[in-house]
Amino acid sequence: MRCEHFDVRLQQLLDHRRAPEGDPRLRRHAALCPRCHNQLTATRRLLRGIQLRELPTLDDDFAARVVQRVAPTARPQPRSAWLLVATALAATLLAAVMPQGPHAPHAITRFAPHTPPRSGNSASELAATTAHLPPNTNQPHLEQSWWTVCGTSILELYPEQARLRHRQQVSQLAEELRPIATPFNATVTVLRRTIPFGRPEPKSPPSASLVPRLAQQPSHA
Amino acid sequence: MTDNLRHLARRCLAGDQRAMLELVDRFRGQVFGLCYRMLGHREDAEDAAQETFVRALRNLRSWDPSRDFEPWLLAIAGNRCRTALARRMRRPSVCSLVEPVAEHRPDLHAARHLAEEVHLALNTLRPQYRQAFLLFHEQEMSYAAIADVLQCPIGTVRTWIHRARRELIRRLQKREVVESRHAV
């Protein structure tokens, strides 16, 4: 055995966790080569030194300290899929049992009282918009009245929306806009009182008590 | 064992603090042992071990239950140790890294002297070499598991361990530890 083979063989034995002294070829070569004998001895001392090294013990409350750090941020598992499915099912059932037809207009118009249009242009435009829509066979007059109310409100707030030609768009806009129409008008009025425009406006600063009072006033487009 | 660990992990994820205690107690020896051997300082090792478990518990969702838990945990410990070593290099500590020898019995003294020399020699190794060497010779992990911990090929692990052994042997020879007259 040559010295370079000695090193390779030594590493192989250590890789398989076998004692180098147990290999007769290594022993024979180490007996003849002082350098490799020194290497074999150093390897044995190294392995012995690793075994002799003491490991200090951890405190008994180590785990408790770890958990104390983690526990405030420990969160339960997210809702499982079955819970999401149950929620969706419940929402579907709720939608199915909700009153429909003639009750719907009253439920929606409850958000804000209907204000008559200030000019006949908007109403006539809406009539032209909804003329082609199929009438409701159950309650045609209520259906007509409801669409008139919604459309009038939209046209008062946003006259440019008179270009709408689809009933679905009118419905979506009405549902989204009517609940916020009154506070929106009040906010716009407050802003107009704060920011000077062309028209003279009172210069008093806006206050919280002003908003409810303005909300009761008729809306101004 | 693995199923039990998966169940334990699920309880930890659900916020069960007793499961967290059980998990920490089960692996505290391995994690602290690696941290202590890597850092050579008790307080630093305890801090690193604690940080390891905190991070492991907070990121338990990222553990793939189809794989072994131990390499994943020791990989976190290794990263914490390397971070601590980098911090130490920026701000050298004034405290001694070697516990003082209090005993004066010849055999015990020789044993502790050898252990200290090995300890000092290990501290001169590159962190990757040291971690690979300790995982193999002290934690008795396989090359495949070490490769999993260090996230590198098995061949690289083998090379690092061989280099670590040669450097340690060279260091012990240089320190004349081999020629010590005390039979240990």
Per residue in A29-58, pLDDT (tens digit) is 888 888 888 888 888 888 888 888 777 888
| pLDDT band, very low/low/confident/very high, at A166 (cuts 50, 70, 90) | low
- Please give the residue of chain B at the shortest CA–CA distance from A55: B33
pLDDT surpasses 70 at B61? yes
Residue carrying structure tokens 């390897």: A43
Paired tokens of A134: 């199929």
What is the pLDDT at residue B178?
64
What is the pLDDT at residue A190?
73
The mean pLDDT of A81-99, rounded to a whole number, is 78
Q: Which of B39, B57, B138 is nearest to B97 (CA)?
A: B39
Name all domains of chain B by residue range, CATH numbers in brackets.
1-97 (1.10.1740.10), 102-184 (1.10.10.10)
Whole-number average pLDDT of chain A: 68
What is the pLDDT at residue B155?
92
CA distance A146 to A105: 6
- Chain B contact for A74 (CB, 8 A cutoff): yes
Paired tokens of A170: 């009118």
Q: What percent of chain B has pLDDT over 90?
A: 24
ipTM value for the complex: 0.70
Task: Give the closest of B32, B42, B173 to A38, CB-based.
Answer: B173
CA distance B118 to B169: 9
What is the pLDDT at residue A216?
54
pLDDT surpasses 80 at A211? no
Q: A138 with A101: CB under 8 angstroms?
A: yes
Q: pLDDT tens, A138-163?
A: 445 555 566 667 667 666 766 655 55
pLDDT surpasses 60 at B167? yes
Whole-number average pLDDT of chain B: 82
CA distance B85 to B61: 27
- Please give the residue of chain B at the shortest CA–CA distance from A7: B166
Q: A117 with A154: CB under 8 angstroms?
A: no
pLDDT surpasses 50 at B53? yes
Beta strands in chain A (DSSP E): none
Give how far A24 is from chain B: nearest CA, Å.
Answer: 21
CA distance A2 to B161: 23
pLDDT surpasses 70 at A118? no
- Chain B contact for A69 (CB, 8 A cutoff): yes
Higher pLDDT, B131 or A167: B131
Higher pLDDT, A116 or A14: A14
- Chain B contact for A76 (CB, 8 A cutoff): yes
Highest averaged pLDDT of the listed ranges A110-124, A155-169, A199-213, B104-118 = B104-118
What is the pLDDT at residue B181?
39
What is the pLDDT at residue B49?
92
pLDDT surpasses 90 at B160? yes
- Chain B contact for A43 (CB, 8 A cutoff): yes
Q: Which of A147, A207, A137, A212 is nearest to A182 (CA)?
A: A212
Q: B103 with B109: CB under 8 angstroms?
A: yes
Q: Give residues with Cβ within 8 angstroms of A218, minimum separation 6.
A: A115
Check CB contact under 8 Å for B99 and A56: yes
The mean pLDDT of A190-217, rounded to a whole number, is 57
Q: Which of B66, B176, B34, B17 is nearest to A69 (CA)?
A: B17
Check CB contact under 8 Å for B162 and A70: no
Higher pLDDT, B123 or B162: B162
CA distance B109 to A167: 95
pLDDT surpasses 50 at B97? no
What is the pLDDT at residue B100?
47
CA distance B79 to B72: 11
Q: At B112, which amino acid appears? A: R
